[in-house]
Amino acid sequence: VIGVIIVAIIAAAMSAYSSNINSLAAVTMEDFLSKRIEIPANKYVTYSKLAALIWGLITLVLAFFMGDIAKTVIEAINKIGSVFYGPVVCMFLLAIFTKKIQAKSANTGVIVGVLLNLILWIFFKNIFWFWWNVIGAVTTFVVAIFCHYFVYKKIAVQNTYLVVNPSFKTAFFTKETAILFGYFILIFSFCYFLTSLV
């Protein structure tokens, strides 16, 4: 039984790992290689496998240097993710609630937000990594707005001011939102009940 459990855990980990590698390989092929070089149709699968192999080797090499990040695997995953969560969430919010922010401004904000989080990680050990999410999101927003108005102003389309989507109210208050909010309350209540048992 112990052997079956271990195999199940390893299989689940391999499934998640393989999907990540496939995603990285697909993005590499579609967003980088295909736009820069002409790939023959009969070589596309071979190139994709090569990209997956390269990404697999990169992740394996990086894994050797990640053992001392945190005491547990869950904490290590969330610590690494916190470098990117805030900037990525802010990019999605900019895309949803604004019409005029260019992709260059948003991308610049994300890059600066991630770099700032990396600086905090390396040089400012007294800042708890939970705060990287907020700091990264705020930095991404400020830099994106600044780049929109001052750096990439000449390529702005039509007006250069921030426009809130007028359909936000109707888009937010939907049946799906109510269901998600209900699930949130249910999960929160369940977690609170578990903590009260301890």
Sign of CA dihedral 76, 80, 81, 83: positive
> pLDDT higher for 24 or 97?
24
Mean pLDDT of 162-185: 67
Mean pLDDT of 79-96: 88
pLDDT (0 to 100) of residue 188: 79
pLDDT (0 to 100) of residue 137: 93
CA dist 71 and 129 (Å) reads 14
CB atoms near residue 76 (< 10 Å)? 15
Mean pLDDT of 30-57: 88
pLDDT (0 to 100) of residue 163: 47
pLDDT, tens digit, for every residue of 122-165?
Answer: 888 888 888 999 999 999 999 999 988 887 765 544 444 444 45
User: What's the chain's average pLDDT?
Assistant: 82
pLDDT (0 to 100) of residue 140: 94
Q: Is the pLDDT of residue 90 over 60?
A: yes
- What are the C-alpha distances in Å from 17 to residues 56, 63, 86, 158? 9, 12, 23, 44
pLDDT (0 to 100) of residue 80: 83
Mean pLDDT of 62-88: 81
Q: Is the pLDDT of residue 16 over 80?
A: no
Buried b (16+ CB within 10 A) or exposed e, 22-41: eebbeebbeeebeeeeeeee
